[in-house]
Structure 1
Amino acid sequence: MVNPKAWRVIPRPLLETILNNHVRHPRVPQILILHGPRGVGKTTLILKRLYEEWNTGPHVTGYVDFAESTEEYHPIHGHSYPWTSWGNCTPCRLVSLKAQLENCLEVMIRRGIKLGVISSHQIFTTLTKWHSPTAVLNKILKNQSDQKLSSRNRKKRLSVSKLWDTAIFRLSASFNENELVDLLDEGIAKEELSFYKEAVVALNLAKEVISVQQKWRENAIHDLHAKGRFSRSLANSATDWPCLLLELLSFAADANYFQPKLVINNIEVLKKAFIEDNKTVCGSMYHDNLIWRMIALGANERTLPIILVTSDGYYSYQAFMDFGFPDVFISRE
């Protein structure tokens, strides 16, 4: 049993300095947890004092508040904050929380594309680092891998990079250029337009690859729920897309040019999220796997600055034990 130890309370001016020092680096080795009792002004500090500054110049900050999905209490829906903790409110749908996170990361990716630091090639390289998209690309190109091919055609099977280029070419032909509206400026050169288009098509293709691979694992996940087991690979499959986006943003980060960062408020809501079917992992498994992979990205490659904001005492007294060792997070209260 953990023996709770009171954290040293940090004055707000000093806390602002700590947070600013953390996010000024393009990449960092650890995620930071900002913890404090409800009502002390954590959200106000982020949104009213720091958020605008963190979105000026080269800085781009994605902000996700998982409590926004709690429609009965969140001010965004015209209600007041609950008297109790968010963890005691009605659980949210995991699919809604996933969409919040992924949409936020995709917006930042598009900002990176507009600045020219994220290209089709980088998306392909990051995707193939952890995934084998050959079967999905064959499916997209109507060239199923299990199709009977003559020995002559079998020798002509395309490499993954060739399949990728072919898929990009075909999808570009039917691409709706309205998706580029937020990327276009007046007097844009034809070469830039081509770069934006190829990168956005590549992003859509990578998302489709991950989505199809997740569908192929649905039966395995259903069996996982039925038998009450755990599978690291299946848990990873649920967080593949947001983690791929995080890795893209981390590698694209460049001091004084493109410095993305991510703030996730009320992270504890994700831990208690519920699923409507057994086609994906449960909320707690998704939560743990997402944080595990954030930790791994920071430790192995360095990650963009990530700040988790919470009022749940679990993150101050227990989380560091569940995730390995006392210094796995930078914790501030």
Structure 2
Amino acid sequence: MVNKAWRIIPRPLLETVLNNHAQHHRVPQPLILHGPRGVGKTTLILERLLGEWNKGPHLTGYIDFAESIEDHHPQFNKSFPWASWSNCPPPALSSCRSKLEHTLESMVEKGVKLGTISSHQIFTTLNKWHGLNTALRRVIQSNNAASKSAVVGKASPSVLWDRAVFALSARCNAQEIDGVLGLSEKWKGLSIEEASYFREAFLALRLAKEVITVQHGWRANAIAHLNRTGGFSRSLAHSCTDWPCLLLELLSQAAEIDHFQPKLVINNIDVLRNATLNDDSSVSASMYHDSLIWRMIALGANERCLPIILVTSDSYYSYQAYLDFGFTDIFISREMFGWTPQEAKMHMVTDYFSPSEWTVIAEVLGPIPRHLFELYALKQSDYYQKVMGDKGSTFEDIVDAYLAYLQITVVNPAMDNALELLKKFAVDARNGKISKDKLRFGAPWRHPPKTDDPTQCMEWAKLQLMDFVQCLVNTEFGDWEETLHSFFALFILLRLAVVGMIS
């Protein structure tokens, strides 16, 4: 039996494409890396690229929103789900926001340490989008009650900014600031003026966050009302993303070739879109998600933005997102698939599987990297030794056990969810919530039932799934003919990331 450690196999073409994007200090568009589950997107980023993107002048912030889902993440000794993250209990939006803001803040602090982000730059960027006078007066007064009379008179925003930075410095611990900036280690090489420059920039960053927090607080009642009524407000959504977008703009402005080249990788961006809102501190997750991405797009189009890579398996980002955000070229799109059977055979045979074993795998399982890794791990287990020790047992028995595991833990629960979503589709169609254009294609028996009988709706949903799967098999899984697009079940299964599992 082969007993060789599993290795991460390079993907030269895709790595070159992503490296070319990441090596620019500023780019006009975000890049979306999308593809089916299990093809190695996260592995490619973490094992092959992220290390190089943090060497020398390069600094990469990596955010995985799925880390908030503790029951399904390797961070907590669990395994990634095979089906869509939307099948897992969604995390709180506040957790996702904290993860995003903390990562961006740490990146900006490193820019401050390098001297590429100054107090003046922070003020100029903030003043470009926000009226600062009232908020700065509020900050000054809250830091020093005795200064209330001093800020009543007329003063320019820049003067108020300097006063607010000074007032904030009196409240902050100097040793804490020096510790964050690392001034204690390099103190001997800095003059008093240089040390003051770094401290002022760090205080300015804290002040900017405080100003945005004050302004966001003024909109608290409006946001609470919006959440109760379920309305839409672009200005309130932008209020919730002001802080991370200010940090993105500061990083983009500070980017300089061979000195400071920040970039941002957001994995499982779809988890943010489906997060739950537990309080009225923010607009809904979908509105927050749309505001964040829209402002990334605007920053890139208007002024150029640091390289941003969004990684996802959600089919929404393969097509519909491009239309929702404007047009089909709004993002740079790079799709990652599994190996072809020939590529997989070249990497797997003799090193991990024998030729006869590979024939079985290629016929019934396919060349998806995660399938191959899990099957190889099963092959190295004690269970494999026990099964193969039984007289008459073959490698096919191991493959059958693995397929049964996938059927029970992945396919069946996903199909149950698909049935519920199809039942909901039937209810929405009966209530007039579905456009008639979506109901005029296909055979008459594909049309949703006109009764609210749960049994009849369930039977209709089962019929849709069986019909679609049979047609998908008849087209040999890969043609994706236009006729398949008339199936309601197609979009349900894509949403649940099950089509790749079936094929």
Residue 160 (1) aligns with residue 175 (2): no
Shift of 1:134: 1.2
SS at match of 1:246: helix
In the alignment, structure 1 residue 128 sits paired with structure 2 residue 130: no
Aligned residue number for residue 242 of structure 1: 244
Deviation at 1:251, TM superposition (A): 0.5
1:37, CA displacement in angstroms? Answer: 1.1
CA contact (8 A) 2:139 2:211 kept: no
Higher relative contact order (CA 8 A, sep 6+): 1
Distance 1:195 1:188 in 2: 14
Residues in 2 aligned to 1:310 and 1:180: alpha-carbon distance in whole angstroms:
39
Rate the CA distance shift 1:180–1:43 in 2: closer, same or farther, 3 A. Answer: farther
Select which of 169, 172, 176 maps to 1:175.
Answer: 172
List aligned pairs for 1:213-292, cutoff 5 A: 213-292=215-294
- Structure-to-structure mapping, 1:1-20, within 5 angstroms: 12-20=11-19
Of 327, 346, 355, which aligns to 1:325?
Answer: 327
Which amino acid is the alignment partner of residue 102 of structure 1? Answer: E
Distance 1:239 1:121 in 2: 22
The corresponding residue for 2:109 is: 110
Change (3 A) 1:20 1:36: same
Code of the residue aligned with 2:164 in structure 1: it is A
Q: Distance in 2 between matches of 1:278 and 1:170?
A: 30
TM-score, length basis structure 2: 0.61
After superposition, the C-alpha distances for 1:53-102 in whole angstroms (9 at most, x for unaligned) are 10111100000000000011111122222232212210110011001001
Moved over 6 A (4+): none
Q: Percent identity?
A: 63
1:297 aligns with 2:299: yes
TM-score normalized by the length of structure 1 = 0.91
1:64 counterpart = 2:63: yes
Q: How far apart, CA to CA, are the structure 2 residues paired with 1:127 and 1:74?
A: 37
- 2:456 maps to none
Between the aligned partners of 2:253 and 2:13, the Cα distance in structure 1 is 30
Q: Which amino acid aligns with 1:267?
A: I
1:119 alignment partner AA: S
Contact 1:219 1:279 in 2 (8 A): no
Q: Which runs of 5+ in 2 are unaligned?
A: 1-9, 143-147, 336-503
Per the TM alignment, residue 153 of structure 1 is displaced from its structure 2 partner at its CA by 8.7
Q: Contact conserved, 1:87 with 1:269, CA < 8 A, in 2?
A: yes
Deviates more, 1:134-143 or 1:241-250: 134-143
User: How many equivalent residue pairs?
Assistant: 317
> Which amino acid in structure 2 is aligned with residue 99 of structure 1?
S
Gaps of 5+ in 1: 1-10, 144-148
1:30 maps to a residue whose letter is Q
Match of 2:141, SS? coil
Indicate if the aligned counterparts of 2:37 and 2:313 stay in contact, CA closer than 8 A: yes
* Cα RMSD after superposing both structures: 1.9
Q: Note if contact 1:43-1:265 (Cα within 8 Å) is conserved in structure 2.
A: yes
Matches within 5 A, 1:10-89: 12-89=11-88
Kept in 1: contact 2:277–2:284 (CA 8 A): yes
Matched, 1:206 2:208: yes
Given residue 123 of structure 1, which amino acid in structure 2 is its aligned partner? I
